[in-house]
């Protein structure tokens, strides 16, 4: 089996798993309780928060634990808007994940105004475009999950601030894979999810420069400074901190390895003379390869690869009558005869050069038939 869908999720790191086990077995105390049995749990929670904060140059009080990237995104979009009047305006890029777009739709349904910022053929936002946008919150993803394009977040954030807006970035695909320094970027909010950087599923966090700007998202107990109630998921929080620290320490090493895998795969495909385009900007998430094969069906390619033991993803989905091209491929203006034949191969640190070769061989065989 070759797993090449690391943008969908990643394998749990062994060190993260081992760090989690004591909290799943013996140290099951509730971090909110004052007795000594809970002391080690409370300490683990504090240390995990400190570790995560130091990975992105934040302060521990600025890290708010959530259940996933989707929750962090919802909190940033809806938590802020709903604590303001209906005149609060949001601007997001056209290629955001549905964890951003769908909360925006909900806001529109109840009367809020949302602007959608277009992208160019590589998925990049034009800075000038954002200069004319008058909104209260701008949200642009750090890196796109489908095509890997990395946005100029620092510049976008500066322009948003010059226009008096707050800035949020969905860094779910970027964190642990790219160096992120929230102080240097000056972002106000940032979303993250552990299972995209070899941490466990069902845990994430929202960085908030000033947490007081957020309205409570889940109401109940006093956890997360009263902003997000619910007994803390200590094992997962600890696993997330170990996985993030490890990935952040290995960013350069992993980047070189992933670039090797990309070159191997693409070199084989170009040599075979296949008719395809690679989507996304030159500056993209290492290992994220979106390919569109002319006059093919992405879903058919996915199933053929699956039969050969290879897991990848597609940029289009078949319903009963049509092939639906993703909103991202539409936004970059990819011609339909290419867009329908899109697959996304996303390598992770555990993939090997032999696996990259095997995927290329499989594609050459399928396309050649």
State the catalytic residues. 318
Nearest distance in Å: CB 227, ligand PLP: 19
The reply to whether 93 sits near ligand PLP by the rule CB under 6 A is no
Nearest distance in Å: CB 70, ligand PLP: 3
Nearest distance in Å: CB 79, ligand PLP: 16
Binding ligand PLP (rule: CB under 6 A), the pick from 165, 172, 227, 343 is 172
**C-beta of 95 vs 367, nearer to ligand PLP:** 95
Cα 351 from chain centroid?
Answer: 20
Nearest distance in Å: CB 26, ligand PLP: 28
**C-beta of 242 vs 367, nearer to ligand PLP:** 242
The reply to whether 70 sits near ligand PLP by the rule CB under 6 A is yes
Three-state SS sequence of the chain: CEECECCCCCCCCHHHHHHHHHHHHCCCCCCCCCCHHHHHHHHHHHHHHHHHHHHCCCCHHHEEEECCHHHHHHHHHHHHHCCCCCCCEEEEECCCCHHHHHHHHHHHHCCCEEEEECECCCCCECHHHHHCCCCCEEECCCECCCCCEECCHHHHHHHHHHCCCEEEEECCCCECCECCCHHHHCCCEEEEEHHHCCCCCCCEEEEECCHHHCCCCECCCCCHHHCECCCCCHHHHHHHHHHHHHHHHCHHHHHHHHHHHHHHHHHHHHHCCCCEEEECCCCECCCEEEEEECCCCHHHHHHHHHHCCEECEECEEECCCCEEECHHHHHCCCCHHHHCCEEEEECCCCCCHHHHHHHHHHHHHHHHC
The reply to whether 342 sits near ligand PLP by the rule CB under 6 A is no
**C-beta of 68 vs 156, nearer to ligand PLP:** 68
Please give the residues from 199 up to 218 whose contact with ligand PLP meets the rule CB under 6 A: 204
Binding ligand PLP (rule: CB under 6 A), the pick from 41, 117, 141, 334 is 141
The reply to whether 5 sits near ligand PLP by the rule CB under 6 A is no
Give the contact letters, 99-138, x = binds to ligand PLP (CB under 6 A), - = no: x---------------------------------------
**C-beta of 99 vs 157, nearer to ligand PLP:** 99
Output the CA torsion 23→25→26→28 (10° steps). Answer: 50
Binding ligand PLP (rule: CB under 6 A), the pick from 10, 145, 247, 351 is 145
Query: Candidates 31-39, 63-71, 125-133, 210-218 — which segment interacts with ligand PLP by CB under 6 A?
Result: 63-71
The reply to whether 20 sits near ligand PLP by the rule CB under 6 A is no
The reply to whether 193 sits near ligand PLP by the rule CB under 6 A is yes
Nearest distance in Å: CB 260, ligand PLP: 24
Chain residues in the site for ligand PLP (CB under 6 A)? 68-70, 73, 97, 99, 141, 145, 170, 172-173, 193, 204
């Amino acid at each position: 089996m070759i797993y090449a869908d690391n943008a969908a999720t990643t394998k749990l790191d062994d060190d993260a798993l081992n760090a989690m086990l004591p909290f799943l077995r013996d140290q099951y105390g509730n971090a909110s309780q004052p007795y000594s049995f809970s002391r080690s749990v409370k300490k683990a929670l504090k240390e995990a928060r400190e570790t995560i904060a130091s990975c992105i140059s934040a302060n521990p009080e600025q890290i708010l634990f959530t259940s996933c990237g989707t929750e962090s995104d919802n909190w940033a979009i809806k938590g802020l808007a709903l604590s303001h009047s209906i005149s609060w305006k949001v601007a997001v890029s056209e290629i955001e994940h549905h964890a951003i777009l769908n909360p925006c739709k909900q806001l529109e349904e109840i009367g809020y105004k949302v602007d959608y910022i277009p992208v160019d053929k590589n998925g990049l936002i034009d800075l000038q475009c954002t200069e004319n946008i008058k909104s209260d919150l701008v949200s642009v993803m750090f890196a796109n999950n489908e095509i890997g394009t990395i946005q100029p977040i620092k510049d976008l954030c500066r322009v948003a601030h010059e226009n008096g807006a707050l800035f949020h970035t969905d860094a779910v695909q970027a964190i642990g894979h790219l160096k992120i320094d929230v102080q240097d970027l000056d972002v106000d909010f940032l979303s993250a999810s552990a299972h995209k950087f070899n941490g466990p599923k069902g845990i994430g966090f929202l960085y908030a420069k000033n947490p007081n700007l957020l309205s409570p998202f889940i109401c109940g107990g006093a956890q997360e400074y009263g902003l997000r109630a619910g007994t803390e998921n200590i094992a997962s929080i600890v696993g997330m901190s170990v996985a993030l620290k490890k990935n952040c320490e290995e960013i350069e090493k992993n980047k070189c390895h992933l670039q090797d895998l990309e070159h191997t795969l693409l070199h084989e495909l170009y040599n075979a003379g296949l008719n395809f385009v690679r989507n996304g900007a030159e500056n993209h998430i290492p290992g994220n390869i979106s390919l569109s094969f002319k006059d093919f069906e992405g879903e058919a390619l996915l199933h053929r690869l699956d039969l050969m033991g290879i897991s990848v993803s597609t940029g289009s989905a078949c319903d009963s009558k049509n092939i639906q091209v993703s909103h991202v491929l539409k936004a970059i203006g990819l011609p339909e005869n290419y867009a329908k034949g899109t697959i996304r191969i996303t390598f992770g640190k555990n993939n090997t050069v032999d696996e990259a070769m095997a995927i290329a061989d499989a594609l050459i065989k399928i396309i050649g038939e």
